[in-house]
């Protein structure tokens, strides 16, 4: 098949999308006056925008580019990262949403100060800030730059990354989280439509013949669980590592949880989280399988990150190419704007405001806007360096596997166990990351060869052990209130069973189990 260049109608569609984003940014900017508006959308978000925004912000950095490329190389097992989000988001709805909203916080690390002390808060805030910029934002900018450079001849990675960063940074600084969420709603809908179209046309290219796909594909590439010695994703890594990465991403990462913090009520926050979990289940069919089919219908590609852009350029006629490219850029922009806003919130609310308590609300908002501009440039210049790694997906997951397990351990045990105190939190963070540095160094010199999911599981287990041992030796002395109890699981106010989020959570878990069994 020959690649179809972008036609004038494609450029019109893309330009129309860009204009719509600008209009939304201008409208929301009129309602963005202080830090609460900029970072939390005035705490007035409905459950539907919360859920769609959670989905759109997550999908861009790990799916259309990274997931399709990974599926092209090693099959549907990469979808383990997608279905695992559903049970993790159930945990989020049951345990962490009431903890974050009962006594509302502005950032996720602020919860750690209420549970432990300010040192835990600042440690995690600094770590999350670095991760949001150098991992999440830079990774997404790289993905977008890959797409643009593949479709616009002569455009280099740095210029493409700067262009995307400038657009996302502009409307994020103007409209804040409200602009991020309301553009995410459009982006999520475009993304779903675009992914379904690409999936349909990919199957059409093989005459909708599932038997032909099965015959042409090695059996393990159509299974979620790969052998223990598999270099891509061993089954043990799915059990011990992927849940750790998913838990941190959905329950403790500022740029995701920020939408929940901006919900208008506990019920809306829970419903939004469960909606996002439901939307993650079809990803296997509409975003992963096209990567597997690409091995049948495309010539061999040296760079797997080019799979999805090549499918767009190869399969779609004029007009539709512009629509799908707009959907792809929408997905990428939704992650960029989210991480930029979250990083600015962390810097402003966790560091600058405590140091300058007299800073007014409007002045704080302008400091946040300046931070967005600074982080935008830093991420753009970092993005081209990701090309030196073995694929975008590998870069994202490897970095997180070494950084987040100690943080996940502190959040999980801190939320569920009263005995741990400030000593346990700080010991776990410092000790866990010291072990991370050791394992990373051993891997660099070739003395330790572990898949990154196994590294995540090992580090998480070690962090749990550090927390428990120090908690028994130095238990919390002050009263501990920011811990979950069963009373928090009840809907507030009471609702009929058909509106009870616990029923929705149970149905979501059953759907997830059915999906896993179908591809086991």
Domains of the chain, start order: 8-385+392-518 (1.20.1730.10)
Q: Under a CB-based contact definition with an 8 Å cutoff, are residues 386 and 158 in contact?
A: no
- Whether residue 30 has pLDDT greater than 90: no
Phi, psi of 317 (to 5 degrees): -80, 170
| Residue with the two structure tokens 């600015």 | 344
Q: What percent of the chain has pLDDT over 90?
A: 39
- Whether residue 1 has pLDDT greater than 50: no
In sequence order, the 6+-apart residues with CB closer than 8 A to the CB of 307 are 68, 69, 71, 72, 291, 294, 298, 301
The closest of 39, 64, 407, 426 to 257, measured between CA atoms, is: 39
Mean pLDDT, the chain, whole residue set: 84
Residue 48 pLDDT level (bands cut at 50, 70, 90): very high
Length in residues, the chain: 520
pTM of the model: 0.85
- Whether residue 51 has pLDDT greater than 80: yes
The closest of 253, 276, 237, 255 to 87, measured between CA atoms, is: 276
The closest of 261, 179, 270 to 488, measured between CA atoms, is: 270
In sequence order, the 6+-apart residues with CB closer than 8 A to the CB of 289 are 71, 76, 199, 202
- Whether residue 291 has pLDDT greater than 60: yes
The closest of 317, 334, 27 to 167, measured between CA atoms, is: 334
Phi, psi of 503 (to 5 degrees): -65, -45
Partner residues linked to 234 by β-bridges: 226
**CA dist list (Å): 396 to 69, 131, 133, 258:** 13, 10, 12, 20
Q: What pLDDT, on a 0 to 100 scale, did the predictor assign at position 179?
A: 67
Q: What pLDDT, on a 0 to 100 scale, did the predictor assign at position 44?
A: 82
Cα atoms in the Cβ-side hemisphere of radius 13 Å centred on 427: 19
Residue 398 pLDDT level (bands cut at 50, 70, 90): confident
Q: Under a CB-based contact definition with an 8 Å cutoff, are residues 244 and 81 in contact?
A: no
Quote the CA–CA distance of 230 and 245 in Å, as a whole number. 19
Q: What pLDDT, on a 0 to 100 scale, did the predictor assign at position 2?
A: 43
Of the two residues 297 and 58, the one the predictor is more confident about is 297
In sequence order, the 6+-apart residues with CB closer than 8 A to the CB of 520 are 223, 224, 225
- Whether residue 350 has pLDDT greater than 60: yes
pLDDT (tens digit per residue) in 249-283: 999 998 889 889 989 999 999 999 999 999 999 99
Quote the CA–CA distance of 84 and 93 in Å, as a whole number. 15
Which of the residue ranges 28-37, 199-208, 346-355, 472-481 would you say has the lowest mean pLDDT?
28-37
Quote the CA–CA distance of 430 and 434 in Å, as a whole number. 6
Quote the CA–CA distance of 288 and 286 in Å, as a whole number. 6
Q: Under a CB-based contact definition with an 8 Å cutoff, are residues 257 and 39 in contact?
A: no
Letter string b/e over residues 367-390, b meaning 16 or more CB atoms within 10 A of that residue's CB: bbbebbbebbebbbebbbebeeee
Which of the residue ranges 54-63, 121-130, 371-380 would you say has the lowest mean pLDDT?
54-63
pLDDT (tens digit per residue) in 120-164: 999 999 998 888 787 777 877 887 787 777 767 777 888 888 887
- Whether residue 286 has pLDDT greater than 80: yes
The closest of 181, 143, 197 to 43, measured between CA atoms, is: 181
In sequence order, the 6+-apart residues with CB closer than 8 A to the CB of 369 are 38, 173, 344
Q: How far apart are the first and last CA of the chain?
A: 33
Maximum Cα interatomic distance, the chain, rounded to a whole number of Å: 69
Of the two residues 84 and 309, the one the predictor is more confident about is 84
Range 32-59 average pLDDT: 78
Q: What pLDDT, on a 0 to 100 scale, did the predictor assign at position 34?
A: 60
The closest of 473, 437, 482, 403 to 114, measured between CA atoms, is: 482
Quote the CA–CA distance of 372 and 365 in Å, as a whole number. 11
Quote the CA–CA distance of 169 and 337 in Å, as a whole number. 6
In the structure encoding, which two tokens stand for residue 94, read together?
């049951």
Q: What pLDDT, on a 0 to 100 scale, did the predictor assign at position 5?
A: 54
Q: Under a CB-based contact definition with an 8 Å cutoff, are residues 386 and 397 in contact?
A: no
Q: Under a CB-based contact definition with an 8 Å cutoff, are residues 233 and 456 in contact?
A: no
- Whether residue 390 has pLDDT greater than 70: no
Quote the CA–CA distance of 328 and 493 in Å, as a whole number. 40
Quote the CA–CA distance of 156 and 150 in Å, as a whole number. 10
Highest mean pLDDT, choosing among 50-54, 388-392, 433-437, 516-520: 433-437
Q: Under a CB-based contact definition with an 8 Å cutoff, are residues 386 and 139 in contact?
A: yes
**Sign of the torsion angle spanned by Cα atoms 515, 393, 56, 252:** positive
pLDDT (tens digit per residue) in 410-461: 999 999 999 999 999 999 999 999 999 999 899 888 888 899 999 999 999 9
Range 186-198 average pLDDT: 80
Helix residue ranges per DSSP H, 266-352: 266-280, 283, 289-297, 307-315, 320-347
**CA dist list (Å): 104 to 231, 264, 270, 420, 501:** 43, 11, 15, 22, 20
**Sign of the torsion angle spanned by Cα atoms 198, 202, 205, 208:** negative
Q: What is the enclosing helix (H) or strand (E) of 255?
A: helix 254-261
Residue 356 pLDDT level (bands cut at 50, 70, 90): confident
Rg of the chain on CA atoms, in Å: 22
| Residue with the two structure tokens 């061999």 | 300
Range 188-196 average pLDDT: 80
The closest of 109, 420, 62 to 245, measured between CA atoms, is: 62
Residue 241 pLDDT level (bands cut at 50, 70, 90): very high
DSSP structural state of residue 412: H
In the structure encoding, which two tokens stand for residue 47, read together?
């459950």
């Amino acid at each position: 098949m020959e690649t179809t260049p972008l036609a004038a109608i494609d450029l019109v569609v893309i330009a129309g999308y860009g204009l719509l984003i600008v209009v939304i940014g201008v409208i929301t900017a009129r309602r963005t006056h202080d830090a609460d508006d900029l970072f939390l959308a005035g705490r007035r978000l409905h459950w539907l925008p919360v859920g769609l925004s959670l989905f759109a912000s997550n999908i861009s950095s790990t799916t259309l580019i990274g997931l399709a490329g990974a599926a092209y190389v090693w099959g549907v097992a990469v979808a383990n990262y997608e279905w695992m989000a559903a049970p993790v988001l159930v945990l989020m709805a049951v345990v962490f949403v009431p903890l974050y909203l009962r006594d509302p916080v502005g950032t996720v690390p602020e919860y750690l100060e209420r549970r432990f002390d300010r040192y835990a808060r600042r440690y995690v805030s600094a770590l999350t800030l670095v991760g949001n910029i150098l991992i999440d934002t830079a990774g997404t900018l790289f993905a977008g730059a890959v797409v643009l450079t593949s479709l616009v001849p002569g455009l280099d990675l740095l210029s493409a990354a700067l262009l995307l960063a400038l657009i996302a940074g502009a409307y994020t600084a103007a409209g804040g989280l409200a602009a991020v969420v309301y553009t995410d709603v459009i982006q999520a809908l475009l993304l779903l439509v675009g992914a379904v179209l690409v999936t349909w046309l990919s199957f059409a290219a093989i005459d909708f013949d599932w038997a032909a796909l099965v015959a042409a594909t090695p059996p393990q590439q159509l299974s979620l669980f790969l052998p223990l010695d598999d270099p891509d994703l061993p089954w043990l890594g799915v059990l011990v590592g992927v849940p750790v990465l998913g838990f941190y991403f959905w329950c403790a990462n500022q740029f995701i949880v920020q939408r929940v913090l901006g919900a208008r009520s506990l019920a809306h926050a829970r419903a939004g989280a469960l909606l996002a979990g439901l939307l993650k289940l079809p990803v296997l069919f509409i975003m992963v399988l096209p990567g597997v089919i690409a091995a049948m219908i495309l010539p061999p590609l040296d760079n797997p990150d080019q799979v999805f852009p090549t499918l767009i350029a190869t399969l779609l006629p004029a007009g539709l190419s512009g629509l799908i490219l707009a959907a792809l850029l929408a997905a990428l922009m939704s992650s960029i704007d989210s991480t930029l806003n979250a990083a600015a919130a962390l810097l402003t609310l966790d560091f600058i405001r405590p140091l300058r308590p007299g800073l007014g609300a409007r002045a704080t908002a302008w400091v946040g806007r300046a931070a967005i501009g600074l982080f935008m440039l830093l991420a753009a210049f970092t993005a081209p360096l990701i090309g030196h790694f073995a694929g975008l997906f590998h870069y994202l997951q490897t970095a997180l596997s070494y950084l987040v397990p100690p943080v996940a351990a502190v959040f999980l045990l801190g939320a569920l166990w009263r005995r741990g105190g400030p000593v346990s939190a700080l010991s776990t963070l410092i000790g866990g990351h010291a072990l991370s540095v050791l394992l990373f160094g051993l891997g660099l010199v070739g003395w330790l060869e572990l898949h990154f999911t196994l590294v995540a599981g090992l580090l998480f287990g070690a962090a749990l052990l550090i927390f428990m041992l120090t908690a028994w030796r130095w238990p919390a002395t002050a009263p501990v209130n920011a811990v979950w109890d069963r009373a928090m699981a009840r809907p507030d106010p009471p609702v009929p069973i058909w509106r009870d989020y616990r029923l929705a959570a149970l149905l979501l878990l059953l759907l997830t189990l059915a999906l896993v069994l179908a591809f086991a």
